Amino acid sequence: MEDLVEALFEAEAVKFGNFTLKSGLASPIYFDLRVIVSHPRLMLQVAERLWDVGRSVCHSALLCGVPYTALPIATLMATAHERPMLMRRKEAKQYGTARMLEGAFAAGDVCVVVEDVVTSGSSVLETADVLRQHGLQVRDALVLLDREQGGREILAGAGITLHSVCTVSRLMQVLLDRGRVDRATVDSVSAFISQNRATSPPPASSPAPSLVPAPGGGPGAVAQSYGQRARLPSTSAVASRLLLLMEEKRSNLCVSADVRMAAELLAVARAVGPHVCLLKTHVDALDDFTADLPERLAELARSHRFLLLEDRKFADIGHTARRQYQGGVFGIASWADLVTAHAVSGPGGLEALAGVGVPLGRGCLLIAKMSSQGALTTQGYMQATVAMAEARRDFVLGFISTERVTHDPSLLHVTPGVKLQPGGDDLGQQYLTPEEVVGRRGCDVMVVGRGVLEATDVTAAARLYQQAGWDAYCGRLQPATAS
Ligand code: S5P
């Protein structure tokens, strides 16, 4: 394995310096395993080492490489050991059979996923999802390099065991022992890895999450101020816009303006405007939506400095979701700063929404854990949602969730089901208090609908919630950063 690590270094599949990752993070280490196609002996070595770590699970399984880098690697493994292979397409063909998966298989067959590098596990999950949608069983994934940034745990949450040839720590030790890197480089890589771990949520049976520092000992999301988080390199432009606005207005309140008439909606926007960072709408629930309403709302949003969140909860296949976002009578993309979407339809739906939203500077909140009783948003689903968000950080600024699903301070948690009096309604809604949501659970924005709307004085109620949310936030900050 030591020789393989050195050969990867020589082939420049591992590089050190200052790199900006796809996620926007600045990293001192970069892996580019694509280069190994130019080094046939190295490719064979990689395939053999992967077979060695996966021998016990591969001998009777189909193999599927994550496109594209792992495709030739899986091919070498499959031919050398006479195992049948499957090929996953990244896009369905536009002609002939619109198959996403090529090769012969039957429902119930076991398939092992092969990948070059695993960070959060999202690319393995994407391929595993396609395989599972075709009735295949996916229980194991083989990876050359585990970056030790939470991928193993996230995959375990989705029922997949990760078998790795090498971890980043091991790789760094080998390169240090062989005089290829110095101690300072090893230290900067290990600091980066421990500070940028995608964490998996606690198991379903655990009590409500308490506030914990980020892995590696640094201040976690809950201990940093909104302003500090707005300035992190990994925070997207739309997330920092919201975080700065929250800090400036001293508000982590989103009022859910669930009313029937457009005039009522405008009146609520006017009444709560000074106290909110977000105004959430359901324009498809209005009895009298007209094309001029969005501009009138946008005007109020500009003058009171809040963002508009249309709670559309997109959930369809990409082709349909794109039309729903861009077109129709509501033309949501043209005015809503943020939208909500379910992860249920897989990455294609999100891709389609991002294709429309990113060029317009819009953002999306993925629904990770719903507030309603009996919600089907299970731990595995929540973890897969986090992986999906991480793969589209340019569009996804966080989650709708009743608990934190990641410690990453650049992702926001927006929590519905909030009232000063805990309890619920007769249709399964469950309420938590601002102190529980922001103070104890470490969520960032609280969504309040009826708690404000049913008050006799809507402005006074919004002010009360604003204060309660802000007090809970200040209480959770380290004394040094409390404002
Ligand atoms: O899990 C969820 C997700 C959302 S977006 N639970 C929710 O209640 N919501 C929305 O938050 C819901 O659609 C409604 O608009 C608002 C809660 O309103 P309230 O009147 O119960 O506070």
**Is the sign of the CA dihedral 180, 181, 186, 188 positive or negative?**
negative
What is the reported pLDDT for 143? 97
- Which comes out higher in pLDDT, residue 209 or 335? 335
| Residue of 370, 371, 373, 421 to mutate, ligand 1, most atoms within 8 A of C-beta | 371
φ, ψ for residue 181, nearest 5 deg: -135, 160
- What is the reported pTM? 0.60
More reliable by pLDDT, 372 or 150: 372
Q: Is 416 in the pocket of ligand 1 (CB under 6 A)?
A: yes
Where residue 450 falls among pLDDT bands split at 50, 70, 90? very high
pLDDT at 354: 96
CA 354-307-263 angle, to 5 degrees, is 115
How many other CB atoms are found less than 10 A from the CB of residue 454? 10
In the 8-state DSSP scheme, what is residue 291? Answer: T
Q: Tokens 């929540």 identify what position?
A: 382
**Distance between CA 196 and CA 173 in Å, rounded?**
20
Please state whether beta strands 85-88 and 412-415 pair in parallel, antiparallel, or not at all (unpaired). unpaired
SS3 (DSSP) at 290: coil
Instruction: Give me ligand 1 centre to Cα 342, in Å.
Output: 14
Give yes or no for residue 205 having a pLDDT over 70. Answer: no
For ligand 1, whether the C-beta of 414 sits within 6 Å is: no
C-alpha span between 18 and 56 (Å, rounded): 39
Q: How far is CA 343 from CA 30, 159, 282, 416, in A?
A: 29, 18, 19, 17
Chain-centre distance for alpha carbon 148: 17
Crossing angle of the two packed helices 293-304 and 262-272, in degrees rounded to 10? 0
Question: Does residue 477 register a pLDDT over 50?
Answer: yes
- Comparing 482 with 64, the larger pLDDT belongs to 64
Beta-strand (E) ranges in 161-237?
161-167
**Residue 231: pLDDT above 90?**
no
Residue 219 has pLDDT above 70, yes or no: no
Backbone angles phi, psi at 116, to 5 degrees: -85, -55
Residue 275 above 60 pLDDT?
yes
What is the number of the ligand 1 atom nearest to the C-alpha of 419? 22
319 CA distance to ligand 1 middle (Å)? 26
